[in-house]
Amino acid sequence: MRIPLWARLLALPAVVLVALSACRSSGHDAEPVRRQLADQARSGQSEGMVTRAPEPAVIEPATVTAPSMPAATEPAEPTSSTLPDSPSPAAPMAGPAYTIEALVGQVNGRPVYAGRILDPIDEQLRALVRTQPPQQFVRKARELIASRVDQVIFDQLILGEAERMLSDRQRDGLRYSLKEKRAELVRKHGRGSEQIADKVLLDTTGKDLVQTLREERERMLVQNYTAQQIVPKIDVTRSDIERYYQQNIEQYQPAPQRTIHMIVADAEHAPTVAQRLAAGESFLTLAADAAVNTYRPAQAGLFAEKAAGSKIFENADLNAATLALKPGGHTQGMPLEDHTVWVHVDKIEQSRARSLQDVQAEIEHHLRAQQLQVLTIQYRRRLLKDGSFTPQDQMINAVMEVALSRYMPGPSRP
């Protein structure tokens, strides 16, 4: 029996339909491309991704309306009772119109769609377009998109490596964990019904049950890879902890903070200040008297509210005399150029000191996190060097085209 053309088209993967739609909308002769894609689909090469080769221009989202199949030949409703070991494009459903999202690149032969880049930063981009002029929006949006593209490429590369390194036992354990996760999601969101759970998840997270489990699978894979390949290389010794403690001693043994006031009097008024202080007059009251104090009398001679460290003044004698003061005390008048200076410490605040024993676990956690970051960067560089993916700049440009269409349609574009 001859299979109608529309039925054969429905059997093609989503990526093939996107390419056909793009060819049709561009006005070029699509027949050679259609034949090539059909041949690839029959030979099992329908994804046809390049390795570090230039990508075609971004494929705009295409809406495809599939004709309804005759009642006698309608396939059974697809279920999500099973999840494949590796992600695969969802098969198109017959009948209603559906949208195939813009393809912006590939990583390890797997397509990357614009939504994967844009959806996690959607709120940030919408806030930017509301608050920033067009040129600023474009600049900041590109920065956000570039960061996301880099992360998606790395995630997919490390995911591919994690897939390859799975043992049969780990693969079985992964299937069991996903089975348990599926049951948990169905209980929590569907009261035992997969159909209800699927709808609730889609309404609340934008992802159905299969997509949610696929992301959970990827998370488990990357976590397992990190635990096996990166974490064992982390090595923090006791001497590393002690060295870090001494290098950051001020953080753990903070210096006291002093509130300091000053009186600066010229030669004419210095004797008056000395007499009034000797008579027991309040230093702060005298420091607020503009008739005798030339240094910030409106603030009662306030020099600093939280002066910390062992060097408060450049003048060594004045500095030493200040550090020796207790709260409420003041220095004797000290000559400084053609003036006389008195310093008063109003209060001293001492933060709690923490010993090495108190903070060694905190320091070890910090150093381990630092090493993990360094090792991850090293792995990132190796994966980027050896991996197969669309060049970052090309992918960023493709996503930017989609972002401008989504967030700055029509004449609002710069």
Domain with residue 278: its CATH number is 3.10.50.40
CA-closest candidate to residue 335, choices 267, 280, 268, 276: 267
Residues in the chain: 414
Same domain, 217 and 270: no
Number of domains in the chain: 2
Residues 92, 197, single domain; the answer is yes
The answer to whether position 237 is within a domain reads no
Q: Are residues 50 and 182 in the same domain?
A: yes
From first to last of its 414 residues, the chain has per-residue pLDDT tens of 444 433 333 344 443 333 333 343 333 443 443 344 334 433 433 333 333 433 433 434 433 333 333 333 333 333 434 444 444 444 444 444 434 578 999 998 889 999 889 988 999 999 999 999 999 999 999 999 999 999 899 888 888 888 888 889 989 999 999 999 999 999 999 998 999 999 999 998 878 899 899 889 988 988 888 888 889 999 999 999 999 999 999 889 888 899 999 999 999 999 999 999 999 999 999 999 999 999 999 999 999 998 988 889 999 999 999 999 999 999 999 998 899 999 999 999 988 889 999 999 999 999 999 999 999 888 888 888 888 899 999 999 999 999 999 998 765 566
pLDDT at residue number 283: 96
Residue pair 362/245 in contact by the 8 Å Cβ criterion: no
Q: Are residues 206 and 314 in the same domain?
A: no
Distance of alpha carbon 360 from alpha carbon 355, whole angstroms: 9
Same domain, 171 and 297: no
367 within a domain of the structure (yes/no): no
- Which DSSP state fits 113? E
42, 103: one domain? yes
For residue 344, what pLDDT is reported? Answer: 97
Q: Residues 328, 224: one domain?
A: no
The pTM (predicted TM-score) of the whole model is 0.49
204 within domain boundaries: yes
Q: Is 63 helix (H, G, I), strand (E, B) or coil?
A: strand
Within-domain flag for 239: no
Kindly state whether residue 323 falls inside one of the protein's structural domains.
yes
Range of the domain at 308: 255-349
Same domain, 226 and 259: no
Angular region, 27: left φ>0, alpha ψ -120 to 50, beta rest: left
Distance of CA 322 to CAs 115, 184, 294, 295, Å? 63, 66, 20, 17
334-336 vs 339-349, strand pairing mode: antiparallel
Evaluate the CA torsion angle 186, 189, 193, 197 in order and state its sign: negative
User: What is the pLDDT, as a whole number, of residue 414?
Assistant: 63
Residue 197 lies in a domain: yes
Task: Tell me whether residue 188 is in a domain.
Answer: yes
Provide the 3-class DSSP secondary structure of residue 232.
helix
Same domain, 37 and 183: yes
Bridge partners, residue 260, by sequence: 304, 345
- The string of DSSP codes covering 382-393 is HHHHH--B--HH
Same domain assignment for residues 314 and 217: no
In terms of Cα–Cα distance, which of 93, 89, 91 is closest to 106?
89
Euclidean distance between CA atoms 285 and 3, whole angstroms: 101
Q: What is the dihedral of CA 222, 227, 229, 232, to 10 degrees?
A: 160
Residues 166 and 58 in one domain: yes
Residues forming beta bridges with residue 261, ordered by sequence position: 302, 344
Q: Are residues 330 and 213 in the same domain?
A: no
Question: Would 378 be classed as within a structural domain?
Answer: no
